[in-house]
Amino acid sequence: MSVLLEMRQITKEFPGVKALDQVSFSIAPGECLALIGENGAGKSTLMKVIGGVHQPTSGEVFVYGKKAEIHSVADSSALGIGFVHQELNVLDNIDVAGNIYLGREERKFGLIRKNEMHKKAEPWLKQLGLNISTYSKVKDLTIGQQQMVEIAKALSMNARLIIMDEPTSSLTLQETDQLLATIESLKEQGIAVIYISHRLKEIEQCADRVVALRDGKNAGELERKNINYDAMVKLMVGRELNAIYHKIESEKTPGYFKVRNLRTSTYPNDEINFELAAGEILGFAGLVGAGRSEVAQAIFGVDPALAGELEIDGKNLTLNTKEAIKNGLYLVPEDRKKSGLVLEMSIRENMSLPSLCDYSKKGLIAKSAEKKLAGEQIDKMRIKVPDDSYTANTLSGGNQQKIVLGKWMSMNPRVIIFDEPTRGIDIGARSEIYDLMNELAGKGCAIIMISSDMEEVLGMSDRICVMHEGKLTGTLNREEFSEEAVMQLAVN
């Protein structure tokens, strides 16, 4: 079998950190190679070497047997390498076609031929089963739709190798199935795919081979016949991991948190009503665009609700963020980079941001108290950093998510909304977050968990509310849980 891409003994060092230590792997035309590892294992750094973002400290890259020098993104693209990034890499102020052909616009006499671009963009959307107009502004799309636009962009480049970094992290089951079918189609055309995902069940479905990284080094490899969940987990963490969804029963106080007649600006004609017990984890399921995140944002007050009433432990609340935080109602948002963090600020500064008044006096911040808070949360959340001065934009997705969680954990939540809590999070960190959720529930915290991961919803919820196009179509008790029951309500 010929080799399309080969990485030999790749080492990458940053000041004080060896991110990659003699990593090697290869991929053949028409092969789907899954790259797995915990957050911080070196996967993203390795892909940045392939993409020309980072230059290796040592090691060699070969494309079709010839040594390749990849000094820039342009060099990588010229070699037929396309990317679908974990964090969205779209321009939300231009339309879909403009994003797909960004930097490769159709021109005549120096002028962009917009009609031609839209015609060429349409087939890529159809191939992905994405029913949107090429004229739609990206800012008007859901996160799942935006990620599909990124996939369409990579496909449009006619790449020989497409690297997909957590491509399904915001996709529904139907969209995920469509993507996996697309990968099979690409393989039949001789196009190779490097598939990076923490969703190991997907890897079982699509991968021909698995390569695992641990602490920046090769940890092992699995051939197709040996790919299974337990084998992958063992390679990633170096040990057996107990069942990830270890639901712990907690004492519940019914009617602790109540939402009445809530109407959002996205679905102004639909009212949402539900109750949540103290100590309960209430899952919210539904397809992309069902309105789950809109409900969360309206409850927390970041998106003004048209109407509605909230009650925590018998006390009525006004629908605004200040009132929510004052009463221990917090939101861990879906898009951590856009809504959960100030990326240019340090870990310490992000941790204290929502409770800054507690760490300041006469307009001056008490740095020692702020540093103590950050240190406690770094230890509790197991955030992998040398110290709290590192800025959020230098951290892996998993560690960024832990900062978002940590800043609320320090404020003793009474009700907390997790919107896609494990998006882009590795298997070990997922287990830690589930432990944290169980711990919070055990202390009487009421938890709303919005997730597009069916296994997560079924594994962690006490009850599941299902939404479809702004309506709450049903609520399932634990004995009624099944994928079929959820999907029937999700499609109404």
**Residues paired with 447 in a beta bridge:** 281, 416
3-state DSSP of 443-474: CCCEEEEECCCHHHHHHHCCEEEEEECCEEEE
Instruction: Render pLDDT for 134-177 as a digit per residue (tens, 0 to 9).
Output: 999 999 987 778 878 888 888 888 789 999 988 887 677 777 88
CB 26 within 8 A of CB 32: no
Cβ neighbors of 408 (< 8 A, separation 6 or more) are 330, 332, 354, 416
Residue 402: the pLDDT is 86
CB 458 within 8 A of CB 483: yes
Residue 83: the pLDDT is 87
Return d(Cα 431, Cα 437) in angstroms, integer: 10
Structure tokens at 21: 């230590």
Residue 399: the pLDDT is 83
Residue type, 447: I
Q: Domain locations in the chain?
A: 5-239, 253-328+412-490
Residue 464: the pLDDT is 97
Return d(Cα 213, Cα 23) in angstroms, integer: 8
- Strand, helix or coil for residue 260: strand
Residue type, 313: D
Residue 242: the pLDDT is 53
Residue 376: the pLDDT is 86
Return the CATH number of 5-239, one of 3.40.50.300, 1.10.3210.10, 3.40.1080.10, 3.90.1150.10.
Answer: 3.40.50.300
pTM of the model: 0.65
- Strand, helix or coil for residue 231: helix
Q: For every one of its 492 residues, what pLDDT tens digit does the chain have, with 9 covering 90 and above?
A: 589 999 999 999 987 778 899 999 999 999 999 999 877 788 889 999 999 999 999 999 999 999 999 999 989 988 999 888 766 788 989 999 999 998 888 788 888 888 899 999 999 888 877 889 999 999 998 777 887 888 888 888 878 999 998 888 767 777 788 889 889 988 988 999 999 988 888 999 999 999 999 889 999 999 999 999 888 888 887 755 555 677 777 788 899 999 999 999 999 999 999 999 999 999 999 877 789 999 999 999 999 999 999 999 999 999 999 999 999 999 999 888 888 899 899 999 888 888 877 777 777 887 888 888 888 888 888 887 888 888 988 887 778 888 888 888 888 899 999 999 887 777 777 888 898 899 999 999 999 999 988 888 999 999 999 999 899 999 999 999 988 899 889 877
Residue 314: the pLDDT is 94
- Domain 253-328+412-490 fold is Rossmann fold (3.40.50)
Q: Do domains 5-239 and 253-328+412-490 have the same CATH topology?
A: yes
Structure tokens at 263: 């109407």
3-state helix, strand, coil in the chain (%, to 5): 35, 25, 35
**Residues paired with 467 in a beta bridge:** 286, 472
| CA 78, 81, 85, 86 torsion-angle sign | negative
CB 389 within 8 A of CB 346: yes
The structure tokens 């987990």 sit at 233
CA dihedral 39, 43, 47, 53 (to 10 degrees): 50
- Strand, helix or coil for residue 293: helix
**Residues paired with 418 in a beta bridge:** 332, 449
